[in-house]
Chains A and B, each alone.
Chain A
Amino acid sequence: AQTVTQSQPEMSVQEAETVTLSCTYDTSESDYYLFWYKQPPSRQMILVIRQEAYKQQNATENRFSVNFQKAAKSFSLKISDSQLGDAAMYFCAYRSARRNDMRFGAGTRLTVKP
């Protein structure tokens, strides 16, 4: 079974600074997808960024980028120029290309200080 590990239960960043959230995963598969989801206090899960395992290029979405290290099974999220609205729980997630289920990490609570 695939597992997703987020080793940082809480992180804090100063507004306008950069923060990196860590995620590692365990799988024996070669084809899969990785995601970062944001869940603000309203509890709606919002997709932040997505990475296909077969792509070597790291995904980027405006201020959000990932560092995907396939061999190390690492998938970290970098948030640049942090804004107060970035404060939320961030979940890393894994989905096999062969299966429909998605596995989530335990989450990292990000606080943004003004």
Chain B
Amino acid sequence: DAMVIQNPRYQVTQFGKPVTLSCSQTLNHNVMYWYQQKSSQAPKLLFHYYDKDFNNEADTPDNFQSRRPNTSFCFLDIRSPGLGDAAMYLCATSSATGLRYFGPGTRLTVT
């Protein structure tokens, strides 16, 4: 039973071409997160939503935006992808007890 779903699993985009990554959850958790993970590195938190409240990390570039139209869905928009944005993007949700449930990730390639 998939709980946190990310689409697509693999995304290729061109340098500078906007791209949107999708995350959905069946857990009804009110907190959703987006992490960026580069090869052999720890996941880096980009931002999170607590319900509709958006919380941006101080060092997240303006190039990264997010939308959460409802409890189930959260999107990551990269307005002008650069080569340095190639990474795995992980979506996660959180229960009231703080447990994180991660999606399988979307691997983004920028050509």
In contact, B41 and A106 (Cβ under 8 angstroms): yes
A residues with a Cβ closer than 8 A to B are 33, 35, 37, 42-47, 50, 91, 93, 95, 97, 100-107, 109
Identify 14 new A-B residue pairs, CB closer than 8 A, beyond the known A44-B105, A102-B45, A106-B42: A35-B100, A37-B100, A37-B102, A43-B104, A44-B102, A45-B43, A50-B99, A97-B98, A100-B33, A101-B48, A101-B55, A101-B57, A104-B43, A107-B42
Neighbouring A residues of B31 by C-beta, 8 Å = 100
27 contacts between A and B (CB under 8 A): A33-B98, A35-B100, A37-B102, A43-B37, A43-B88, A43-B104, A44-B103, A44-B104, A45-B43, A45-B90, A45-B102, A47-B100, A50-B99, A97-B98, A100-B33, A100-B48, A100-B50, A100-B55, A100-B94, A101-B48, A101-B57, A102-B45, A102-B98, A103-B45, A104-B42, A105-B42, A107-B40
How many A-B Cβ pairs are below 8 Å? Answer: 54
Question: For chain B, what secondary structure do more than half of its interface residues adopt (helix, strand, loop), or is it mixed?
Answer: strand
Looking at B42, B48, B50, B100, which has the most chain A CB atoms within 10 Å of its CB? Answer: B42
Neighbouring B residues of A35 by C-beta, 8 Å = 100
Looking at B31, B92, B102, which has the most chain A CB atoms within 10 Å of its CB? Answer: B102
Neighbouring B residues of A106 by C-beta, 8 Å = 41-42
Neighbouring B residues of A104 by C-beta, 8 Å = 42-43
Cα of A102 to Cα of B45 in the assembled complex, Å:
8
Neighbouring A residues of B88 by C-beta, 8 Å = 43
Cα of A97 to Cα of B96 in the assembled complex, Å:
10
Closest to A1 in B: B58
Closest to B9 in A: A43
Neighbouring B residues of A44 by C-beta, 8 Å = 102-105
Neighbouring A residues of B90 by C-beta, 8 Å = 45
Cα of A47 to Cα of B50 in the assembled complex, Å:
21
Closest to A9 in B: B40
Neighbouring A residues of B48 by C-beta, 8 Å = 100-101
Shortest beta-carbon distance from B62 to chain A in Å: 19
